[in-house]
Chain A
Amino acid sequence: MTLHTPSRLARQLMLSSAIALSLAATVPVAAMAQDNETITIASANDITSLDPHMLDSNHPTGSVIWSIFDSLVRRAPDGSTEPRLATSWERIDDVTWRFNLREGVTFTNGEPFNAEAVKINMERMNTTPWATVQQLHDQTGLIEVNVVDDYTIELVTEAPTVNMLYWLAEAFIGAPQYLTDTAADKVASEPVGSGPYKLDSWNRDDRLTLVVNDTYWGDAPDAETVVFRVVPETSSRLNELRAGTADVIVDITPDTAGQADSDISEAVYVEGLRKMHMGINIEGEQPALKDIKVRQALNHAVDVDTIITALLDGKTVPIPSIVNPPNNNPDLAAFDYDPEKAKALLAEAGYADGFPLTIQYSTRFAGGKEVSEVVASYLQQVGIEPTVEAVELGQFRQMLSGSSTKGIYFMGWAALINPSVELVILTCGHVDNSSGYCNEEYDALVHEAAQTLDDDARLALEFEAQQTVWNDAPWLYMWRLPVVFGKANNITYDFRADNYVEPYLMTTE
């Protein structure tokens, strides 16, 4: 094959006219064009690893991985599923899913994407150490990956599951040969994917730069370069946004968000999904917590609305159920603030004189200390003697998975829209069931729902389960964690409640 190449003279002519054109352009236009080519995203933490199967936090590590790698499907902000490397899919029986794969996709090192690549990636995900972090197999019960042909693959699970698409969205596919042949530290710092961007440079704890992947199968993103910067102090991130040196800032708290509004920038509030609560450890040091009346009393004793107004700038709402809308049982209502009722309930339970109670928090969530102190002061008013205690994060997580917190603890679970995943957390002995709650009736409902493929029947079961657990009050219900971003006015993007930021979907003007 011969390509017709323009003569040298012709090329020179083209070049000089290009220069003439660019000289003719007015300065402001040039400046704006320059500005639009790069999006700078400032976050509190650094990226930990670029290994596609080591994704441990949604942002910033997750956001970078979502930009460099593709998964089979994308989880849209509303929880629905969109095609990505898979173009379509169907359930062919209770335990088998078939995916048709996108053709003509290559990784940035030239390797082709096909069914074999998916299989190799999924095998790696199920190998230690990646298996600990990558949860596709654990959460879906995936046991078999069958290559049907080059662009068709079947996934077989142990039992029927409604969660396959949810977890596939976070199962990223890297260049198979490269993943197999390369040392772990190189994979983690020199990623090879098929996504809209590829890595340009990375200075840890400072900045990571992505450039457009010219061979990307989809629409080219607006910004040619994306810079992820680490700016730990909230006030610094706000300053950078206002000064125009950052276009998007992440991890800001509601009570400082007002400072994001300026001539060139604004705060964006997204309705949060993470359900914040004080977990009540039924198996903890305080036996009073075994009594359902005591747990309900705690819920009546704390004025959640006032806390939301004062500490969260009114930017969120109390949780309506342990399941996020739109799947929540609409018959449930938040416990009202009623200290007298709380005292009465305590008296009925035989604790009219109160009891000592430890409130624990960790650095996991910003504001944990303030919230714990405020809750303590409310509990004091109904006669309980609270002590507030900070716990180191590693120990805190250990306590959570062993249900060994002392009394009540500040926590938030399940920033997602998937009733099955949200409900299973409180079943007997579940690893995330940190309150030691165990109600067999509830368990039966949840397990039946998870295997019910008929939508209406499943919803009815889930509503009933929500009702049961809500009254049993294993949590002191609080609010949905408000998610706040700051962005430059010229950027348009549908920000997500789960904190992932997808620069390739941002448009600049």
Chain B
Amino acid sequence: MFRFLIRRLAMAVIVLLIVSFTTFIVGHMTGDPVELIAPENATREAKEQLREYLGLNRPLLVQYTSYIGNALQGDLGFSFVQQAAVSDLIMERLPATLKLAFTGFILSLVIAVPLGIFIALNRNSVWDFLATSVAMIGQSAPNFWIGLMLIAFFAVHLKILPVSGYGGVSYIILPAITIALQSAARLTRLMRASMLEVLNADYVRTARSKGLRQRTVLWVHSFRNAMIPIVTMAGLELAELIGGAFITETIFAWPGVGRLAVNAVYQRDFPLVQGVVLFAATAFVVINLLVDLLYVLIDPRVKLS
């Protein structure tokens, strides 16, 4: 257990280093942030001064090491465009992102888990066919398009929900549904498949042949085991959502980390982009670690080393 943790942590650190380095290099390949920061009619000398002030004329490796050094102390740099500390900017948006992520995530679990079990138990029924088809289509349609169509119908046509923005409960409905639909489609299909696999597994058949009641078999043996792949998948989904639902947040003008990141990319706000990527990757790595630990709780047979 301890060794497993150490190994996973070492892996996490290496991964984060690769992630930060890649972002750093890509960000500095072309495109000059000074051109975006300075006004259109700024003189060349003024731009050169700014470049120097921002440290953009130092060798790349020097810039990178100083960045990592600061990051280790919790300082993710300073966004020149917004004149604010990157970590502050991320923390400011985090509540909105968490709110949307958890609402969407819970919504999708509430849909997917019961539905997946239901259609697995009623395999090849009309319900199965309907639900799998809808899930299949849900998985195939671009979710930003679904978001736009939801806006067109509920907000523009029926005018019962706000088009976009951040505010009361009514504002979260459409973005949460947009997120939940896609994720629920994936999870329902997985839940169904995983449930079927478990139901056909030898030990469940044995249990059945021993005459255990159907309900006991279902809950004690099948459900627990069927949940294992779901937990992994759901963990991945959640990690991605916390990193920011980039497009959904952009469409719905949701003031979260995702929109912060997209805007930062367009504004060529390097420190901010790097900060968000590092943040999203960290969230991802940490949640995965938690999911691994959760395995132990669900399935004691999983050996950790």
Contact = CB atoms under 8 A, between A and B. Distances in A.
Interface of A: 48-51, 54, 56, 128-129, 131-133, 135, 138-139, 184-185, 187-189, 203-206, 229-233, 235-236, 239, 363, 392-395, 397-398, 400-401, 413, 431-432
Contacts, number: 126
Contacts of B38: 132-133
A432 B83 CA distance: 26
Interface residues of B, number: 49
Given A51-B83, A204-B92, A230-B253, A128 B53 contact: yes
Given A138-B43, A235-B163, A133 B37 contact: yes
Nearest to B54: A129
Given A187-B83, A232-B250, A431-B42, 17 more contacts: A54-B83, A128-B49, A129-B49, A132-B46, A135-B41, A135-B46, A138-B46, A184-B78, A185-B85, A188-B83, A188-B84, A203-B92, A204-B93, A231-B253, A394-B35, A397-B36, A401-B44
A307 B35 CA distance: 31
B32 A56 contact: no
B260 interface: yes
Nearest to B166: A206
Contact of B42 (A135, A189, A235): A135
Contacts of A363: 266
B163 to A, nearest CB: 4
A236 B39 CA distance: 29
A135 B83 CA distance: 18
B50 A128 contact: yes
B52 interface: yes
Nearest to B266: A393
Contact of B32 (A138, A229, A398): A398
A465 B268 CA distance: 38
Nearest to A129: B53
Given A48-B81, A205-B260, A392 B31 contact: yes
B269 to A, nearest CB: 10
Given A48-B82, A188-B83, A393-B36, A233 B46 contact: no
Interface in B232-279: 250, 253, 255, 259-260, 263, 266, 268
Which residue of B47, B88, B166, B250 has the most chain A CB atoms within 10 A of its CB atom? B166
Contact of B82 (A49, A229, A235, A236): A49
Contacts of B42: 132-133, 135, 138, 431
B134 interface: no
B253 A232 contact: yes
A132 B37 contact: yes
Interface in B1-60: 30-44, 46-47, 49-50, 52-54
20 contacts: A49-B81, A129-B53, A131-B49, A132-B34, A132-B39, A132-B49, A133-B37, A185-B88, A189-B83, A235-B156, A236-B163, A392-B31, A394-B32, A394-B268, A395-B31, A397-B36, A398-B32, A398-B35, A431-B42, A432-B40
